[in-house]
């Protein structure tokens, strides 16, 4: 593993693998969260959240892998950016970046930093309170006043227009990050074949559709509580 990370190609490959993993997580995270806008007053969302929040495999195997994946992706992103910058210094005078690359590809580090800031806020909002309830207070019942608490907690978080505004801005950065990240990750693992065009179209739908869906969830709860 450390051998793989010593070469530039190896680092890009590992970065791409962690990106695929996070994109898969995002899809399942979206699939669960979208149920919070179903017209069943949170019943489906509560059931799914309770399952995910109390299942041993999810809590003790998948969650630590996910946290590792998130940290790895951010750390590796910063390392790649620093290495690129030091390599670029020599040729920058001749290389007009704006002419041969997109804004998104040149600013992955900034869209990534915006997502990192969002993750910190998001963990303070949702993840730390969950860890506190379950692992510190030892309450795995998922109940508050005899009812599942997850849906009400979610609704409560989206009351503040400031928080909703911050989330929506972060989701726009997420779309920009994914728009370049998706095709770049496929390039890094060498996927260049007859499916490339189809993959690019799928990438665009994913990169815009998933963040747009998250925006809908945040706005829905802000205007319906
Ligand atoms: C409106 C949009 C979103 C809602 C309502 C939402 C909701 C939640 C909730 C309720 C949790 C706590 C789960 C638990 O630990 O039991 C959570 C955790 C988490 N969220 Fe989100 N989320 C949203 C968007 C996002 C986005 C866009 C990302 C990534 C860019 C993200 C990344 C995470 C991560 C990494 C965790 C911790 C891992 C986990 O336990 O699932 N979330 N989110």
pLDDT of residue 98: 63
> In sequence order, which residues have a C-beta less than 8 Å from that of residue 146 and are 6 or more positions away?
none
Please determine, for residue 105, whether its predicted confidence score (pLDDT) is greater than 90: no
pLDDT digits (tens, 9 = 90+) for 171-203: 999 999 999 999 899 888 887 777 788 988 999
For the chain, give the number of residues.
225
Q: Among 91-100, 114-123, 153-162, 174-183, where is mean pLDDT lowest?
A: 91-100
Segment 94-112 shows an average pLDDT of 79
SS3 147: strand
Residues with CB under 6 A from ligand 1: 26, 29, 33, 53, 63, 66, 70, 115, 122, 126-127, 130, 154, 174, 214, 217-218
pLDDT of residue 57: 98
Q: Which residue has the tokens 């509560």?
A: 46
Band (91; pLDDT cuts 50, 70, 90): low
User: What number does the ligand 1 atom closest to the CA of 118 have?
Assistant: 30
User: What number does the ligand 1 atom closest to the CA of 33 have?
Assistant: 5
SS3 91: coil
SS3 39: coil
Strand residue runs (E) in 23-175: 143-144, 147-148
How far is the C-alpha of 88 from the C-alpha of 221, rounded, in Å? 45
pLDDT of residue 102: 85
Segment 156-172 shows an average pLDDT of 98
DSSP 28-81: HHHHHHHGGGSTTTTHHHHHHHHHHHH-HHIIIIIHHHHHHHHHHHHHHHHHHH
Query: Ligand 1 centre and the CA of 187: distance in Å?
Result: 28
- Backbone torsions φ then ψ of 38, nearest 5 degrees: -65, 150
> In sequence order, which residues have a C-beta less than 8 Å from that of residue 205 and are 6 or more positions away?
none
* Distinct helix (H) and strand (E) counts, the chain: 11, 2
């Amino acid at each position: 593993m450390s051998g793989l990370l010593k070469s530039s190609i190896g680092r890009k490959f590992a970065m791409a693998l962690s990106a695929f993993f996070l994109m898969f997580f995002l899809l399942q995270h979206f699939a669960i969260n979208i149920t919070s806008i179903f017209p069943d007053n949170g019943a489906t969302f509560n059931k799914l959240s309770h399952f995910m929040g109390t299942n041993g495999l999810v809590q003790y195997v998948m969650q630590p892998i996910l946290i590792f994946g998130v940290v790895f992706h951010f750390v590796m992103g910063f390392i790649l950016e620093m290495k690129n910058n030091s390599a670029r210094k020599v040729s920058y005078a001749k290389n007009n970046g704006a002419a041969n690359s997109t804004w998104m590809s040149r600013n992955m580090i900034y869209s990534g930093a915006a997502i990192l800031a969002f993750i910190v806020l998001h963990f303070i909002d949702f993840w730390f309170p969950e860890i506190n309830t379950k692992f510190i207070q030892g309450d795995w019942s998922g109940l508050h006043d005899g009812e599942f608490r997850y849906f009400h907690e979610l609704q409560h978080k989206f009351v503040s227009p400031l928080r909703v505004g911050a989330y929506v801005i972060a989701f726009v950065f997420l779309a920009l990050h994914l728009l370049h990240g998706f095709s770049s990750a496929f390039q890094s693992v060498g996927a260049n074949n007859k499916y490339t065009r189809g993959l690019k179209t799928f990438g665009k739908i994913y990169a815009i559709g998933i963040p747009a869906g998250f925006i809908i969830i945040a706005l829905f709860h802000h205007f319906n509580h």
